[in-house]
Structures are given as C-alpha cells and as structure tokens.
Amino acid sequence: MLIHNTSMASSSYSSQLRKNYDVFLSFRGEDTRKTFADYLYSTLEDRLISTYKDDVALPRGESIRPSLFKAIEGSRIAVIIFSEKYADSSWCLDELAHIMKCREERNLIVMPVFYCVDPSEVRKQKGKFEEAFAKHKIENNNKVESWRDALVRATEIAGWEPKNIANGYKKCYTTLQRPLWRAEMEKIPTKLALRNRNVFNGDPSCPLCSSADESAEHIFTSCYVSSVVWNDISSWCRIPFIYAFSIIDLLGIHKSIPVSAKKKEAVYGIVIVACWSLWRARNNLVFSNSPVRIDRILSEIKVLSFLWFSNRSKFKGVSWEEWISFVNM
C-alpha cells in the first residue's frame, strides 16, 4: 500500500508498518529531500513500488528511531542516498547501522547512491564526513566506531559508484541504444511489425493516441504522447523544439544544436532515455492496462538521465539543482 499524506491516523500507520515495503529511502538534508530523493520517491510510487520516505510516512509525534527501524525491517530494499550532509545526523547514522544489520540478518538488499559526494570520502570519512565525525566524537563517542564500520560496509556494496565503471555512462546508453536501432529497422514488436510477420490480426492503431497505425517510427516521432514529451524536453533543456522524421534523426538531433559538448552529450542521453521511457509506458498500457501519464514519463526521464550523466559521464559533478534547471550545461 502506498502512503500519500502525513495526516494518517497512528493506527493506520502502525498497520502499514506490519506490511513489507518494497523500498526504504535513507537520506539526509534538504539538498536531497526536496530534490533527488523526492523525485526518486515519486517515480517509485508512480510505478506502484511501495516506498518509505520519512517525511511522508512518519506522522508528527511518532518516536523517530523505533519507527524508522520498524520500516527498515519491513522493507525488501534500502536505497542509501549519500550526500555531504548524510553524516551530520546521529539518528541518520543509527539508521544506516540498522540497515547494515538487517542486511546481514534479514537479507535486506542495500543499494548505495553517491549524490554529489565521492565514495572514498564516505568510506574513509573525509571532507564533510570528517567534520561531522569530529563532532560525533564529542557527543556520541560510544557509537562512532559502529557508525564508521557501517559506512565502510555500505561503500563496499556495488552501487552507483562512478570509479568502478570505466566509461559506464556510454555503456549504459549503448545498452539503451540497441532497442532503438532495432526500432529503426522495425524489429521491435509494434502492431505493424507483428502484422507483417502474420502474428497479429487485431486493431493496428497506436495504443497511446489511436490516431495512426502503430509503428516504431510513429511511437517515437509522431505520436501525440511522444510529441508532448519532446516539446517538454525541449523547454526543459532550453533547446529548439525536437522534431524528427525518423529514429535516426532523433539519435542525431544533438549534433545540430549549437551548444557546448557537455550539453550535446546530455541531450543525446536524454533522447535515448526518453525513447526507452516511451516504449516502457506503451508496454505498461498494453500489458498491464496502466494509464499513460506524461508527467510520470518526464519524471522518469529526468531521474534516470541524471543518474547516468552525473555519475558516469566524463562531465561528472552536475548537481540535481543544475540538472533540473539545466543550467551550467
């Protein structure tokens, strides 16, 4: 069950904690709470992935630590968003230690994400983490060693670590490119492609807009849904309207934009992710009868393209604020 507001009664809240969450989000600070963590939460929620986020699920008056620990124990996956402010809070470090304990005792899956912080700073407690631990030695000296141990063990888990993946950004986009090249050759299972192979005899119209027969070219270039998505992406990225006659045109659209190499690479990646998200939305509608919402598609595009670009491109160091406003690109 998804939790939609902060005013639920305590009895309802307690009953929900007895159920498993799919994902527990662990993060700290307004730099992530109202930006990256919020977008990630919204994207997971839109995909019907039950997610615990403390400012949504924790009513006022509840004791923080016990409630957080119960939520962790009732989750399948913990996503830890490390930022410069993560180690500032003692209860946040307590939360991390409990996550690592549940990983050992309850097979909790842990996925670290390094938001504008180097993994080595987290592992070795350098920079902002060193400053935070200097204060903790005075106020919480009896817990410092257990917190350090939890940080080290968390950073040993394979996650979004740019140093562990050579040219990972390009490899990720290459993986997403493959279905696009197949789409250009009409090799993905659209209704027209299936009919041409004599395996489909139903209505060939596009399930997204119903205005034309469904081909790969139509879905990605001329469908009403894709047209709105390209228009919104153009406005977001502050570039001329993305208009293409073919998938090949889409893949080369970044080359004709008179912008920096950094922005060209960003736009190129966004186009690839957008095509993947459009195809995903189409499949969710066809196979799960899940309504298509353009705002959900755009949220997914922004989150996924940010993760890949900020962590794995040669232009590292882009913050979520810069990405969402598309400045300094």
- Res 238: pLDDT: 93
How far apart are the C-alpha atoms of 329 and 318, rounded to whole Å?
9
- Res 183: pLDDT: 63
Domains of the chain, each with CATH number or no CATH: 10-162 (3.40.50.10140), 168-325 (no CATH)
Catalytic site positions: 95
Q: Give CA angle at 308 (81, 43), nearest 5°.
A: 60
Q: Give CA angle at 111 (107, 116), nearest 5°.
A: 155
- Res 47: pLDDT: 63
- Res 150: pLDDT: 93
What residue ranges of the chain have pLDDT lower than 70?
1-19, 30-31, 34, 46-48, 57-63, 158-187, 311-313, 316
SS (H, E, C) the chain: CCCCCCCCCHHHHHHHHCCCEEEEEECCCHHHHHHHHHHHHHHHHHCCCCEECHHHHCCCCCCHHHHHHHHHHCEEEEEEEECCCHHHCHHHHHHHHHHHHHHHHHCCEEEEEECCCCHHHHHHCCCHHHHHHHHHHHHCCCCHHHHHHHHHHHHCCCCECHHHCCCHHHHHHHHHHHHHHHHHCCCCCCHHHHHHCCCCCCCCECCCCCCCECCHHHHHHHCHHHHHHHHHHHHHHCCCCCCCCCHHHHHCHHHHCCCCHHHHHHHHHHHHHHHHHHHHHHHHHHHHCCCCCHHHHHHHHHHHHHHHHHHHCCCCCCCHHHHHHCCCC
- Res 194: pLDDT: 86
- Res 15: pLDDT: 39
**With the CA atoms of 12, 13, 14 and 19 taken in that order, what torsion angle do they form, in degrees rounded to the nearest 10?**
100
- Res 88: pLDDT: 85
